[in-house]
Amino acid sequence: MKSPVEQFTIKTLVPIEAFGYDISFTNASLFMVLSVIVSSLFLYLGIKKSSLIPNRFQSSVELLYVFVSNMVKENVGTGGKKYFPFIFSLFMFILFGNLLGMIPYSYTFTSQIIVTITLALIIFIGVTLIALIKHKLKFFTFFFPSGVPIALAPLLIPIEIISYLMRPVSLSVRLFANMLAGHTMMKVFAGLIIMMTSASGVLKAGAVLPLLAVIGLTGLEFLVAALQAYVFSILTCMYLHDALHLH
């Protein structure tokens, strides 16, 4: 029987090497490309024949759009509108990546920390640059808010700097750990079914228990897939808000 973590192995599909680096096209890259293509197709086909009274397909596209649009409006505040395309692309990329990973025999690229940390660092560096450009040196008051006694500065400033640096770590670890743990758990329970059915007697009948667990976990994983895409983009919105308005 295959190990439950074997599903996360990266397989090279098209070997490419440039400047001494291995930049092969792998199964993870394939599903990233697929995520972009499928989400674009979904959005394009949904609004291709748009009518005033939308059918189900069109209205699901519109729901997603309005959902993210409201999220940006509520969490970024004024001046957030020009970042909407970025947030929406990010949301769709992660959502479709997570959901494509739910198809049997497919690959969940968000279960790789290198993918999530890259996304998180792009956001972190981008947001910091936006704040620096917008507020210049005033940005550093972010680490020492007004109204705090000066005596607290040696303690509070390191803590605030750590809090700031924590952002990309917690953002990436959250998505990666959720996907990794969920998919591993599903495989472990699925493996239990096979193990128990090959046993004899009472154990064989007991195989129905892990089967029920797998059914439940599959539902839970769909929830987690959507929820984590939401959490990732809403936190990006909050970071953007902090960058634009400081406090």
Partner 1 sequence: MNKELDKKIDLALSKKKVSINKKSVDKNFLSTLSRVATELVAGLIIGTGLGLLIDNWLETKPLFLIIFFFLGAFAGIYNLWRQLSGNGLKIGYFDKGKKN
Q: Total residues contacting partner 1 (rule CB under 8 A)?
A: 35
Taking the least distance from each CB to partner 1, the nearer of 10 and 173 is 173
Distance of closest approach, residue 122 Cβ to partner 1, in angstroms:
17
Q: Six-digit token pair at 53? A: 């009274």
Q: Which residue has the tokens 């493996």?
A: 191
Distance of closest approach, residue 166 Cβ to partner 1, in angstroms:
4
Distance CA 136, CA 182 (A): 42
* φ, ψ dihedrals at 97, nearest 5°: -60, -45
Identify residues 228-247 at the interface with partner 1 (CB under 8 A): 228, 230-231, 234-235, 238-239, 242, 246-247
Distance of closest approach, residue 167 Cβ to partner 1, in angstroms:
8
Taking the least distance from each CB to partner 1, the nearer of 211 and 231 is 231
Distance CA 198, CA 204 (A): 7
Q: Which residues share a beta bridge with 25?
A: 14
Identify residues 121-180 at the interface with partner 1 (CB under 8 A): 141-148, 158-160, 162-167, 169-170, 173-174, 177-178
Query: Which x/- pattern, by CB under 8 A, does the window 88-127 give for partner 1?
Result: ----------------------------------------
Distances (CA, A) of 161 to 93, 96, 133, 142: 30, 34, 19, 9
Q: Which residues contact 68 (CB under 8 A, 6 or more apart)?
A: 84, 87, 88, 91, 233
Phi-psi category of 246—alpha, beta or left, where left has phi over 0 and alpha has psi -120 to 50? left
Distance of closest approach, residue 179 Cβ to partner 1, in angstroms:
12
Distance of closest approach, residue 228 Cβ to partner 1, in angstroms:
7
What are the residues binding partner 1 (CB under 8 A)?
A: 141-148, 158-160, 162-167, 169-170, 173-174, 177-178, 223, 227-228, 230-231, 234-235, 238-239, 242, 246-247
